[in-house]
Structure 1
Amino acid sequence: MRSGNFKQNVGELIALTDSKSVATWSCLLMVALIGAPMVLDAHLLGLVTVILFTLVGALGLNILMGYTGLVSLGHVGFLVLGAYGYAVTVGIHGLHPLLGFLMAGIVPAIAGVIVGAPSLRLKGIYLAITTMAFAFIINTAILEADFITNGSSGIFLPRPTMFGISFKSDAAFYWLCLFFAVAALAVTLNIRRSRIGRAFMAIRDNDIAAQSMGINLIAYKLLAFVMSAFMTGIAGALFGVYLSFVTVEGFTFHLTIEALAILVVGGLGSALGVVLGTILIVLLPEITGVLLSLTGDAAQEVMATKAFEVRNILYGVIIIGFLRFDPTGLVGIWKDVQRTWVNWPLKY
C-alpha cells in the first residue's frame, strides 16, 4: 500500500522518477527539442546548440564539484584538451570523427589522473589553485608542442560525417549536440543513484566518515576526476567543431567562471539545476541586450562595444545575488514553488 511519498522497495528508491507527469513532460520536451530546427531561425538554433554542448561540460564539472565536493578552477584545461584531442585526430591526421570524439574524452581523462593524483590530499582553496595552475600549464604545453598541435597557428575543423550522415548543416550539428547532451544527462542521473554516486556524495559531505565506512577516498576521487574530465573533453570537442577552428586563445579562463556561475545559479549537485543554470547563463547576454534595447541608444552602444565586460559584470552580480539570497539556486526556487503549489492554501 502506497503511503504518501515514502518508497516501498529498492526499485522505487533508485528509479529516475515515479511520476507519470514527469515522464510525460520529459517525452514532450524531447519531441520539441528534436523538432526545434524545423521552427527556429538560424540565430535561435545557434543559441540552443550552444546551450546543449555547454550543458555537457557543466554536467562534467558537476560530477566533480556538485557530487564529490572537489573544487576545480581549471576545468577549462580539460575543455581545451578535449578540443585538441579531437582536432589533432581528425583535423590533422584525418582519422574517423568517432575516434576523434573518443580521443577527446580519453586525453582529458588521462590528464585528470595526472592532476588528480597530487591533489588527493588537498581541499578547498588549495585544490582550486592547483587545478587553476594545471590549466595554465596545459595552455603553455599546447603552444610549445607545435609539432603535434600546430602551436599558436591553431587547427581548422570541418563538421564531421559519421555512419554516412553529414553534420555539416546547422540542424544536423544541433542534433549531434542534442544526442551528446541527452547522453551526458542520462549518465549523470544514473551516476547519482548508483553506488559510485553515493560514495561521491559521502566524500562530499564528510570524507573522514566516508573513509571510516570503507570508501576508498583515493580511488573515488580519481574516478571523479576521470569521469568529469572525460565529459568535459567531449564538450570541448563539440565547442571546437562549432567554432570550426581550435586554438588556445578560444579557451580562456572566462569559460571556467561561466561554468562556476552555471553551478551556483542552477544549484550545486543537481542535474536539473545544471540544466536551468546553463539555460540562464547562456541566454543572459541575450536577455540583457533585449532589456537594454528598451532603455535607449546609449545603453545599446555600451552593450555593443563593451559586451565582454558587461557579461562579466552580470556573471559576478548574479553569482553574488544567488549566494546571498538563495544558495540553493534555481532548482531550490523551483522546489519551493512546487511545495507551495502542492500544499496551498495550507501552511507548513
Structure 2
Amino acid sequence: MRTGDFKQTYGELVALTDSPPVWLWSAVLLLALILAPYILNSYALSFLIMILITAVGALGLNILTGYTGLISLGHVGFLVTGAYAYAVAVSKYGLPPIAGFVAAGVVPAVASLVVGAPSLRLKGLYLAITTLAFSFIINTLILEARWLTNGARGISVQRPTLFGVSFDSDAAFTYLCLGFAMAALLATLNIRRSRVGRAFVAIRDNDTAARVMGINLHAYKLFAFITSAFITGLAGALYGIYLSFVSVEGFPFLLSIEALAILIVGGLGSALGAVLGTILIVLLPEATRMLFNLFSAQMDSLFTTGAQELKSMLYGLVIILFLRFQPRGLVGAWHDIRRFWVHWPLRY
C-alpha cells in the first residue's frame, strides 16, 4: 500500500505528476490562458505575451544552468541569433515561417557548439566569462555582416501566417506564443525525467562522480548547450516578431541578467520555478511603478526615462533578497507553504 510520496513503480517515478489536483489546476490555468485574449485589454495582453516569450527563453536557460549547472552570462547571444535567423530566412529570403522557426532553433544550436566545445573544461566564473565573450562576438559579427543582416539598420519582421492562420493581431499572436511556451515546458519536463535529464543533474551535483558512473561529460555538456540554445533561439524569434524589428540594440545584455534572475528567483533546476520566476520578473517593474506612483506622480516619468537602469537595480535587489532569505526561490517557498498546510496544526 502506498504511503505519502512513496513510489511503487518506475512509471510513477518518472511520471510528470500523479496528483489529480495538479492536473486539475493545470487544466484551469490552460483554460484561463486560452480565454485571456478575449478578456484582457491590449496593455495587459502585452504583458501576457512577454511572459510567454520570456518563459520559453527561461526554460531554455534552465536546461543549461538549472539542470546541468553550467552558468551562462551570454544567453542573449542565442536570443539574437535566433531572431536574426528567423528574420533573414523569412524577411530577406522569403522562406515560409515554418522554415524560419526551424532556422531560429538550428542556427543557435550550431552556434552553441562554437562556445560549448571550448567550454567543456571550464567551470564557474571561467565558463560565465566565456559565454559572455560569445555574446559580444555574436553582436560584432551581426554588425559586420551587412550583406546578410543589414548591419546596424536591422531587419523588419512581419507577423507570420501558419497553415492558413494569420497571427497578425495581438490576440492571435498570444496563442502562437502560448503554443511555443507549452511545447517548451513539456519538452523541459520530459528531458528532466529522462535518462539524459538524470545525467544532466548528476553532472550538476558532482561531475567527478558522474564520470566515474560512466557518464560522458563532454557529450552531455554539448547536448545541454545545443538543447538550451535551440529553445532560446525560438524565444528570440518570437521576441523579434513581437517587436516587428530585429536589431542588436533590441537585445541588450540586461536580458542575460534577467534570465539568470528568473532562475534564481524561481528556483534553480525547476521548470515550475522558471515559470514563476518569469511572471515575477516581467511584472516586477510595472508593479514597482504602480506602487511608487501611489506616492508621487513624478515617479512615473522616472520609470519612463530610466527604465533600463531601474530594471537593473530591481533585478539586483531581488536577487540579493532571494539569495539571502529564500535561496530555493519561489518553488522552495511554495513547498514550505504546502508542507505547513498539510501538517497543520502539527507542524511543530
User: What TM-score does the superposition give when structure 1 sets the normalisation length?
Assistant: 0.99
In 1, the alpha carbon distance for the partners of 2:259 and 2:34 equals 25
- How far apart in 2 are the matches of 1:172 and 1:32? 15
SS, match of residue 3 in structure 2: coil
Identify the residue that residue 215 of structure 2 maps to in structure 1.
Answer: 215
CA distance in 2 between counterparts of 1:178 and 1:233 reads 16
C-alpha separation in 2, matches of 1:176 and 1:98: 12
Deviations 1:272-298 (A, max 9, x none): 100000000000111011101111223
SS of the residue corresponding to residue 118 of structure 1 reads coil
What do residues 128-173 of structure 1 show as CA deviations (whole Å, max 9, x unaligned)? Answer: 0000000000000011111111111100000000100000011110
Name stretches of at least 5 consecutive residues in structure 1 with no aligned partner: none
The aligned runs of 1:90-169 (5 Å cut-off) are: 90-169=90-169
Cα drift, residue 54 of structure 1: 0.5
Matched residue SS, 2:117: helix
The answer for the alignment partner of 1:89 in structure 2 is: 89
Instruction: State the shift of 1:300 in Å.
Output: 2.8
Partner in structure 2 of residue 34 of structure 1 = 34
Please report the TM-score for the alignment, with normalisation by the length of structure 2: 0.99
Instruction: Name the counterpart of 1:296.
Output: 296
For residue 260 of structure 2, what is the aligned residue in structure 1?
A: 260
Alpha-carbon shift at residue 244 of structure 1 (Å): 0.2
> For the residues of structure 2 that align with 1:309 and 1:3, how far apart are their CA atoms?
51
Query: Structure 2 CA distance, aligned partners of 1:143 and 1:297?
Result: 40
2:188 equivalent to 1:197: no
Runs of 4+ displaced beyond 4 Å: none
Offset of residue 299 of structure 1: 2.7
The match for 1:61 is: 61
What percentage of residue pairs aligned between the two structures are identical? 66
CA distance in 1, matches of 2:247, 2:347: 56
Distance 1:66 1:344 in 2: 32
Please state if 1:46 is matched with 2:46.
Answer: yes
- The match for 1:246 is 246
Structure 1 letter corresponding to 2:183? A
Which amino acid letter does the alignment assign opposite residue 43 of structure 1?
Answer: Y
In 2, Cα distance between equivalents of 1:296 and 1:153: 39
Deviations 1:231-290, CA, capped at 9 Å, x for gaps: 000000000000000001111101001101101110010001000000000001110111
**What is the deviation of 1:310?**
1.5
Per the alignment, residue 5 of structure 2 pairs with: 5
Q: Secondary structure at the match of 2:327?
A: coil
Match of 2:347 in 1: 347
Count how many residue pairs are aligned between Structure 1 and Structure 2. Answer: 348
Aligned-partner Cα distance in 2 for 1:299–1:242: 28
Rounded Cα–Cα distance in structure 2 between residues aligned with 1:304 and 1:141:
31
Amino acid at match of 1:188: T
1:20 aligns with 2:30: no
1:283 aligns with 2:271: no
Give 1:114 shift.
Answer: 1.3
1:119 counterpart SS class: coil
How far 1:341 sits from its partner (Å)?
A: 0.2
What does residue 70 of structure 1 align with?
Answer: 70
List gaps (5 residues or longer) in structure 2. none
Cα separation, 2, equivalents of 1:336 and 1:150? 51
In the TM superposition, residue 220 of structure 1 has moved relative to its aligned partner by: 0.2
1:2 Cα deviation from its structure 2 partner = 1.6
Deviation at 1:347, TM superposition (A): 2.7
**Residue 323 (structure 1) aligned with residue 323 (structure 2):** yes
**Residues 282-331 of structure 1: CA distance to partner in whole angstroms, max 9, x if unpaired?**
00111011101111223333223322221111111000110111110111
User: How far does the alpha carbon of each residue in 1:164-199 deviate from its partner, in whole angstroms, 9 at most, with x for none?
Assistant: 000001111000000000000000000000000000
Query: Could you tell me which amino acid in structure 2 is paired with residue 251 of structure 1?
Result: F
